[in-house]
Homo-oligomer: A and B are copies of this chain.
Amino acid sequence: MKQYIQTNKERFFEELFSLLRIPSVSSKEENRPDMKRCADRLVELLLEAGADQARVCPTAGHPVVFGSKLVDPALPTVLVYGHYDVQPAEPLELWKSDPFEPEIRDGAIYARGANDDKGQLFMHIKAFEFLVREGKLRHNVKFIFEGEEEIGSPSLAQWAKDNKEMLSADIILVSDTTMISEEVPSINCGMRGLSYVEVKVTGPDKDLHSGHYGGAVANPINVLCDMISSLIDKDGKITVKGFYDDVVELSAEDRAKLARAPFNLEEYKKFLDIKEVKGESGYTTMERTGIRPCLDVNGIWGGYTGEGSKTVLPSEAHAKISMRLVPNQDSKTITRLFEEHFKSIAPDYVKVEVTPHHGGDGFLIPISSPAYQAASRAMTEVYGVEPVPSRGGGSIPILADLQRILGIDPLLMGFGLERDTIHSPNESYLLKQLFCGMEAIALFYRYY
């Protein structure tokens, strides 16, 4: 496929950029028309690439793009999953170029979604196009590109249930994750789940002058800090009652296998500009993000946050809190346990509200499966080294749902790199990874 890429490179850029220019931020109401535009554009691209049919399918939320090419019912079917929605680009002032005007700098494309997931899903369309045009396609291929991954895929599970027949396949193929490094390709064989909640702590029913009331009335910000602080103990364990009940401890053997992945703590710290890492006692950094659950405050706000000073004792304080879960932990159960726990630790002098946002379960895929083996062979050929099986810290909760609903295992061939800083300002995607990804995907079809 190398030659094909060389010949069509400029057209590929134009096509990918046309997707990246659309600010398809699923969490923002104002971007609803952009979601539709982006879905329409994907339909065009699928048809141009050689799909028999492609269409925008309405759901309760943002639409799903579905397309397919059926070669022969006797051949195996690959179901490609991707998502065309992106995270908000804020804080905008930290971007070196417009997040929705892609720019190539130093061998990488810079834009919101350059990697996650527009850049990665685009590789699948182009590998498919190559196989069709060269007459090499020996599989039935189906595509689903959803528009709600970044908000927890609230509609896709129902849509998949309603279209179970149409989605039947042998493997779900996904590129929405990272490799360990440029030199160390890896295939993700498990992902963490997610429980995401928003909490609100209310003290007095109005903002007060902190001089008149300070010292006598509980300040909801201080109380929220106390409560958040109590959620993780000194050993880095989450204190939510029952939180670890369903966590399966890995065997020493499995831990040893995962530890084979190369990891340099000093480089890791240097990359993040931190003096020390921090996490659960008794686990390595890779284990802390791979096989152990965790809790993070993703946002906090309350009181006066503007320029200068204001001596206010505010009425309310808020936080967004998420927990990463490991396979066998049930996202809904954890959300319920969190809510119960958070309310139980609320002192008398405040009121507490907990609002669940989205969530999803983690999952695992067997390394011995034919799909994993085909991917491994394809990546070995492209990168010259055998990929390492890894466990991913992030979450694609919908994959666990699809696995359950459709009865098909997902395979994660991700080509992102840590340096891409997805979800952050200056998200990027290396051209090298874009092109190697296309090659590896085309080879996957050869070996699967």
Residues of A within 8 A of B (CB): 27-29, 87-88, 90, 150-152, 178, 192, 194, 196, 198, 203-219, 221-222, 224-226, 228-230, 232, 272-280, 285-286, 288-289, 292-314, 317-320, 322, 324, 347-350, 357-358, 392-395, 418, 421-425
**Which of these, B210, B296, B392, contacts A322 with CB under 8 Å?**
B210
Q: Is the CB of A151 within 8 A of B309?
A: yes
Q: For A178, list chain B residues within 8 Å (CB).
A: 212
State the Cβ distance, A93 to closest chain B Cβ, in Å: 13
Which residue in chain B gives the minimum CB-CB distance to A210? B296
Q: Is the CB of B209 within 8 A of A394?
A: yes
Question: CA separation between A210 and B395, bound complex, in Å?
Answer: 10
**Which of these, B225, B298, B311, B425, contacts A228 with CB under 8 Å?**
B225
**Which of these, B277, B310, B424, contacts A298 with CB under 8 Å?**
B310
Q: For A216, list chain B residues within 8 Å (CB).
A: 277-279, 285-286, 288-289, 294, 393
Q: Is the CB of B289 within 8 A of A298?
A: no
Question: CA separation between A348 and B276, bound complex, in Å?
Answer: 6
Given contacts A306-B88, A309-B358, A357-B309, contact A324 B214 (CB under 8 A): yes
State the Cβ distance, A433 to closest chain B Cβ, in Å: 16
Q: Is the CB of A217 within 8 A of B274?
A: yes
- Show 29 A/B contacts (Cβ-Cβ < 8 Å), sorted by A: A27-B307, A90-B306, A151-B308, A194-B311, A206-B421, A207-B425, A209-B422, A209-B423, A209-B424, A212-B289, A214-B322, A215-B294, A216-B278, A216-B286, A216-B288, A216-B393, A217-B277, A217-B278, A219-B296, A219-B297, A221-B299, A224-B300, A225-B300, A275-B348, A298-B304, A298-B312, A299-B304, A299-B306, A299-B314
Q: Is the CB of A303 within 8 A of B279?
A: no
Q: For A205, list chain B residues within 8 Å (CB).
A: 272-274
Q: Is the CB of A349 within 8 A of B276?
A: yes
Which residue in chain B gives the minimum CB-CB distance to A395? B211
Q: For A228, list chain B residues within 8 Å (CB).
A: 221-222, 225, 229
Q: Is the CB of A393 within 8 A of B215?
A: yes
Q: Is the CB of B210 within 8 A of A298?
A: yes
Which residue in chain B gives the minimum CB-CB distance to A204? B272
Which residue in chain B gives the minimum CB-CB distance to A313? B296
State the Cβ distance, A244 to closest chain B Cβ, in Å: 13
Question: CA separation between A446 and B419, bound complex, in Å?
Answer: 76
Q: For A292, list chain B residues within 8 Å (CB).
A: 215
Q: For A221, list chain B residues within 8 Å (CB).
A: 228, 296-300, 319
Question: CA separation between A27 and B207, bound complex, in Å?
Answer: 19
**Which of these, B224, B273, B358, contacts A204 with CB under 8 Å?**
B273
The 3 closest A-B pairs by CB, nearest first: A211-B394, A215-B294, A27-B308
Question: CA separation between A298 and B310, bound complex, in Å?
Answer: 7
Q: Is the CB of A204 within 8 A of B303?
A: no
Question: CA separation between A152 and B278, bound complex, in Å?
Answer: 39
